[in-house]
Amino acid sequence: MNPFNYQRATAPEEAIHAASARDAKFLGGGTNLIDLMKDGVEHPATLIDINHLNLTQITATPSGGALIGALVRNSDLANHEMIRRNYPLLSHGLLSGASPQLRNMATTGGNLLQRTRCYYFMDTAFPACNKRNPGSGCAALNGFNRIHAILGTNGGASEACIATNPSDMNVAMAALNATIHVQGPKGKRTIPFADFHRLPGKTPEIDTNLKPGELITAVELPTPKFAKHSWYLKVRDRQSYAFALVAVAAGLEMDGNTIKSAGLALGGVAHKPWRSLEAEKSLAGATATPEAFKKAADLAVAGAKPYEHNAFKIELAKQSIVRALTLAAQGAQA
């Protein structure tokens, strides 16, 4: 690990100002950043410890939604009474990720910025990684790509990066249509969840649309619609404490057996949490039947392109979507 300067910030403005220093990074729970620093993947010159900023509350918004401070720990968020009652999809998703110890450390803002678990990104012994070393190529394209993306890539040999976003929280928040609040050198702004994370394009080294020096201050959830009908399905190699091969966050707003509206997002399949507006539209107004769920599944993975070792993900994603929607419709979580 490189030597670094450590600064403890006491106010957002102070943290944002400190972030203008060369190679400075914010430090939250550290579960990802410290790990990557030990591996030599990240080497900031300055760490700005933001753990003491007053961004730790969860409050109700006037519209009946929720405002989650960026420093709320994953375990506190998952177990918060209002989140459990109004957004069980988020609790379920959060508790599907990592371990109790890591969830006690990891923050809401940090989880949004969690970097990929692509083996080639995390192992500096592989020189080719466009995300770690822009222009160097992608070792995963012709390597072991079982865990890699099937959506949002060009699907050709010229692809720059086929890494996936590893977060479960992000998948649930995408389906819940969250909004991210940020503060930067030029003031405050909000970013719709779908516009926060990026597809790789030709610049996979940039994970998000945050601007330099911007600090995530909160995540806002809209008025709850899926409190009675939601399910988070995570398919992985181990039953616990493993990253998703495919994850599905499914929320349904039901009127009897009719779906009024739906939220559907996938994890483990793309460079960003993969929300499918087409699938959500096809579900809205439909009767909750296996046929409707299969149609939504087909729409959600339309255009999927497999690589050598991950073709199984296409069918796995479809079946997982049908299962998650079925369990959500049953109100198993109510």
Partner 1 sequence: MSAPPCAAPSSDYEEEILESEPALGDSEFSRRTFVKAAGILSAGVATGVPRIAAAESAQAAAASTPQTIAVTLKVNGKTESLTLDTRTTLLDALRDHLDLTGSKKGCDHGQCGACTIILDGRRVNSCLTLAAVANGGEITTIEGLAQGDNIDDLSPVQAAFLQHDAFQCGYCTPGQICSATALLEEQKHGTLSTVSFETGHTSNPQLTDDEIRERMSGNICRCAAYPNIVAAVRAAARSVQA
Query: Which of positions 230-269 make contact with partner 1 (CB under 8 A)?
Result: 232, 234, 240-241
- Asked whether position 179 contacts partner 1 by CB under 8 A, the answer is no
Shortest separation between residue 13's beta carbon and partner 1, angstroms? 20
| Residue with smaller CB distance to partner 1, 218 or 327 | 327
What 8-state DSSP symbol labels residue 284?
A: T
Q: CB-wise, 278 or 308, nearer to partner 1?
A: 278
- Provide the mask over 100-129, with x wherever binding to partner 1 is found by CB under 8 A and - wherever it is not: xxx-xx------------------xx-x--
303 interacts with partner 1 by CB under 8 A: yes
* Residue 56 CB coordination number (10 Å): 16
Contacts of 156 (CB under 8 A, 6+ apart): none
Q: Does 156 bind partner 1 (CB under 8 A)?
A: no
Amino acid at 304: A
Measured over the CA atoms of residue 320, residue 321, residue 322 and residue 326, the dihedral's sign is: positive
Nearer to partner 1, 27 or 162 (CB): 27
Q: Is 313 in the site for partner 1 (CB under 8 A)?
A: no
Q: Which of 53, 98, 171, 252 binds partner 1 (CB under 8 A)?
A: 98
User: Please, what is the minimum distance in Å from the beta carbon of residue 218 to partner 1?
Assistant: 21
Could you tell me the smallest distance in angstroms from the CB atom of residue 278 to partner 1?
A: 6
Choose among 251, 271, 270, 269: nearest CA to 260.
Answer: 251
C-beta closer to partner 1: residue 73 or 148: 73
Site for partner 1 in 2-41 (CB under 8 A): 2-6, 8, 22-23, 27, 30-31, 34-35, 38-40
Q: What is the DSSP letter of 22?
A: T
Q: Does residue number 314 form part of the binding site for partner 1 (CB under 8 A)?
A: no
Residue 251 near residue 226 (C-beta atoms within 8 A): yes
Report the residue number, 215 or 258, with the smaller CB distance to partner 1: 215
Closest separation in Å from C-beta 62 to partner 1: 27
Comparison of 124 and 289: residue with beta carbon closer to partner 1: 124
**Which among 252, 327, 250 has a CA at the least distance from the CA of 287?**
252
Please, are residues 174 and 251 in contact by the beta-carbon 8 Å criterion?
Answer: no
- 3-state DSSP call for residue 280? helix
Nearer of residues 63 and 240 to partner 1, judged by Cβ: 240
| β-sheet bridge partners, residue 230 | 251
DSSP conformation class of 115: P
CA distance 141 to 133: 15
Residues forming beta bridges with residue 129, ordered by sequence position: 138
Radius of gyration of the chain (CA): 19
Sole binder of partner 1 in the list 88, 263, 267, 268 (CB under 8 A): 88
